[in-house]
Amino acid sequence: MIPLIGRLYRKNNVVSSVYGRKLINQSAIDIIKAHRVVRRIDGEELSLKATKAILDEIETLNVGSVSVDLGRLNKKFKESGSVDLNAFLSNELGDKVGQAGATDAEPKDVVLYGFGRIGRLLARILIERGGYGLRLRAIVVRKGSDDDIVKRASLLRRDSVHGRFEGSITVDEENNTILANGTLIKVIYSNDPASVDYTEYGIDNAIVVDNTGRWRDEAGLSQHLKAKGVARVLLTAPGKGDLKNIVHGINDSWITAEDKIVTAASCTTNAITPVLKALNDKFGVTHGHVETVHSFTNDQNLIDNFHKGERRGRAAALNMVITETGAAKAVAKALPEFEGKLTGNAIRVPTPDVSMAILNLNLENETTKEELNAYLRETSLTSNLHKQIDYIDSPEVVSTDFVGSRRAGIVDGLATIVSGKNAVVYVWYDNEFGYSCQVVRVIETIAGTHPVAVPAVKAEALTA
């Protein structure tokens, strides 16, 4: 099955998954685990034989440029009562049949402005996708030491939290390029975003992803648009002023061709907004408080030293640090119905990655723990928020179990507390990798390179 999944991806642009869990570049054990998850829905594991049969037929049909959820397809096929898998898939895939290798849009050049924690994870994801729709063409950084490019390539290759890069990386110091799994990345040194001429490197009409956080308003980010070869700008942080803060799955439909600058909000806003929307749609939320237990970040000090922020100057690895978060108020920028409904605070803790948001909510309608959990579980599996929300009810999971999660947030069902109209919901999130996956989804929306999903997930499923 593994060679077939890879072949369909490389030759046909077919992305395979099982209820949102990707199968590309996964081990045999990971694929088996993805099939076992289906027990939550159907009461039994998804048969490897069944998914192999679907993949075989997809290859026979010469399908192109589509995102196929094998779990949903198999369920729909069984419910249809059909015995002709080829005919069923031909109907589901429609005009994608016979289009192997075709894409829905022209590939878009992507430039990473900054190459820190988020920048390197974005690079990993873009490289992993092998150039489908989005082409990582360059990174822009400030010049460091003479062996700057070697050090940056090493940080891409090895990560203390996220492990080794899956593949090969070679460095060409003379030409300032990094070759990662066949993706040639130009390393551009610059201190001024407006002065870079990207067309000099064959890059044009590019999306610049600013992950430095240095500029957060329209005036500052507009400097990128003055550079030759830049068409759009995406900020990987909450934007200021009238900039659109986009949480993919919630308000990505707000992005228009006229938007030259948009932002991807914060990791916490991305984690909590989908869950809040789901709960508001079903039960109604009158008001609430968001408390985040957040891993330390590079903004804090390793040991006690001066910091302009209150308490953040104290040693990050030794202390729990109470600090502020704008995530609660930022929810309203993506979900206007939450304007004035939420308060928020944060505690930075001595862990390097994976955070938790505790949502203490007052609901319009009474519910029970069982009903609320069942709804969120179903939402994570069958709604149009299945890429944003995951659900788990294991009594043994801890924070490190969620390193590398591709969902914006993971509801911990066993921790849920419900008393009448009051609910406390615990949401884990990989504040680095999960957020980076959300950012890439926004890039795809800007570029118009989202593959068509089969079978389609109906929006009304969220409130069913």
Angle in degrees, CA 243, 409, 310, rounded to 5: 65
CB 183 within 8 A of CB 127: yes
Q: For residue 291, which phi and psi values (nearest 5 degrees)?
A: -115, 120
Position 211, amino acid:
N
C-alpha 216/C-alpha 220 separation (Å) is 7
Q: How far is CA 170 from CA 186, 245, 329, in A?
A: 12, 36, 44
CB 267 within 8 A of CB 360: no
Residue 351 burial (C-beta neighbours within 10 Å; 0-12, 13-18, 19+):
middle
* CB burial readout 98-119, b (16+ within 10 A) else e: ebbeeebeeebbbbbbbbebbb
Instruction: Tell me the CA end-to-end span of the chain in Å, nearest whole number.
Output: 34
Tokens of residue 446, six digits: 């800007």
- Which of 455, 457, 452, 456 minimizes the C-alpha distance to 13? 452
Tokens of residue 72, six digits: 């949903």
The reply to whether 267 belongs to the active site is yes
CB 240 within 8 A of CB 216: yes
With tokens 């890069």, the residue in question is 165
Which pairs from 158-163 meet CB under 8 Å and 24+ separation?
159/120, 160/352, 161/352, 161/353, 161/403, 161/432, 162/121, 162/124, 162/353, 162/403, 162/404, 162/432, 162/433
DSSP string of 182-199, one letter each residue: TEEEEEEE-S-TTT-BGG
Catalytic residue among 5, 121, 171, 267: 267
Q: Which helix (H) or strand (E) holds 208?
A: strand 206-210
CB 385 within 8 A of CB 462: yes
Position 399, amino acid:
S
Q: Which residues are catalytic?
A: 267
